[in-house]
Amino acid sequence: MNLILFGPPGAGKGTQGQLLAEAHGLKKISTGDLLREAVRAGTQLGTEAKRFMDAGELVPDSVILGLVREYLGGDAGAGFILDGFPRTIAQAEGLDRMLAELHQPINAVLVLDVEDEILVKRLSGRRSCPNCGAVYNVYFDAPKIDGRCDRCDSELVHRVDDDASTVRRRLQVYRDQTAPLIEYYQRGRTSPVHTLDGDRSIDEVQAEIKGVLQL
């Protein structure tokens, strides 16, 4: 099963995608995670991407499409979950071309809907583990020991782009450049689009996703 997870910053794409991937053996491809990895590794791609990410802007389509192409090929296994990609019409068209070459369909597009006020709170409370990638929230899903990762005991960090003004810009960019993709997929009619209320507990949202996908 191949899925696209859509939603504004903080809607829970990473959280829900991770749970689904672990439960069903799907490969989660998060362009945000791949870019942060490149920034940490100090690669040329990472250096180029960092200034866009820190400003809350989108990284250029050509860079993103090249990155995704590397991860989509190979053994399809049980399928994949795209988290945070595509984000523009050009990326969606590029993805269509890649999937046609690979003879892989998108089985469903899931849209997580959450109000801005809640998103801002979630992002201000988000803490991530730079070592294993686990994500927590000081308000909604706190680690057992303050500031330390439950899984690997590393020190948790607050993402640079989660400061209030960058979050406002990311929300605007989502509305302007990414939200129109919902209509793109509705119009295409090849993959069903399901909009879910993401403003419920993590478990409730996951249960609804599984219900919709009949898993």
User: Which residues contribute to the site for ligand AP5 (CB under 6 A)?
Assistant: 7, 9-15, 31-32, 35, 52-53, 56-59, 64, 84-85, 87, 91, 122, 125-126, 135-137, 140-141, 161, 170, 201-202, 205
Of residues 13, 36, 122, 127, which has the active-site annotation? Answer: 13
Nearer to ligand AP5, 37 or 57 (CB): 57
The distance of closest approach from Cβ of residue 192 to ligand AP5 in the complex, given in angstroms and rounded to an integer, is 21
Nearer to ligand AP5, 100 or 207 (CB): 207
Of residues 28, 36, 127, 170, which has the active-site annotation? Answer: 170
Of residues 28, 122, 126, 127, which has the active-site annotation? Answer: 126
Clarify whether 13 is annotated catalytic: yes
Cβ proximity of 134 and 29 under 8 Å: no
Clarify whether 170 is annotated catalytic: yes
Clarify whether 148 is annotated catalytic: no
The distance of closest approach from Cβ of residue 15 to ligand AP5 in the complex, given in angstroms and rounded to an integer, is 3
Nearer to ligand AP5, 150 or 189 (CB): 150
Nearer to ligand AP5, 24 or 169 (CB): 169
Pairing of strands 3-6, 193-197: unpaired
The distance of closest approach from Cβ of residue 138 to ligand AP5 in the complex, given in angstroms and rounded to an integer, is 8
Of residues 28, 36, 87, 122, which has the active-site annotation? Answer: 87
Residue 119, exposed/middle/buried by CB under 10 A (0-12, 13-18, 19+)? buried
Cβ proximity of 13 and 84 under 8 Å: yes
Clarify whether 159 is annotated catalytic: yes
Tell me, rounded to whole angstroms, the distance of Cα 145 from its chain centroid: 26
In the sheet that holds 108-113, the strands lie side by side as 27-30, 80-83, 3-6, 108-113, 193-197
CB environment 18-57: b (16+ within 10 A), e (fewer): bbbbeeeebbbbbbbbbbbebbeeeeebbeebbeebeebe
Report how far residue 123's alpha carbon sits from residue 138's, in angstroms, rounded to the nearest whole number: 10
Report how far residue 20's alpha carbon sits from residue 18's, in angstroms, rounded to the nearest whole number: 5
The distance of closest approach from Cβ of residue 178 to ligand AP5 in the complex, given in angstroms and rounded to an integer, is 8
The distance of closest approach from Cβ of residue 79 to ligand AP5 in the complex, given in angstroms and rounded to an integer, is 19
Q: For tokens 């605007």, what's the residue? A: 172
Q: Catalytic residues, which ones?
A: 13, 87, 126, 159, 170
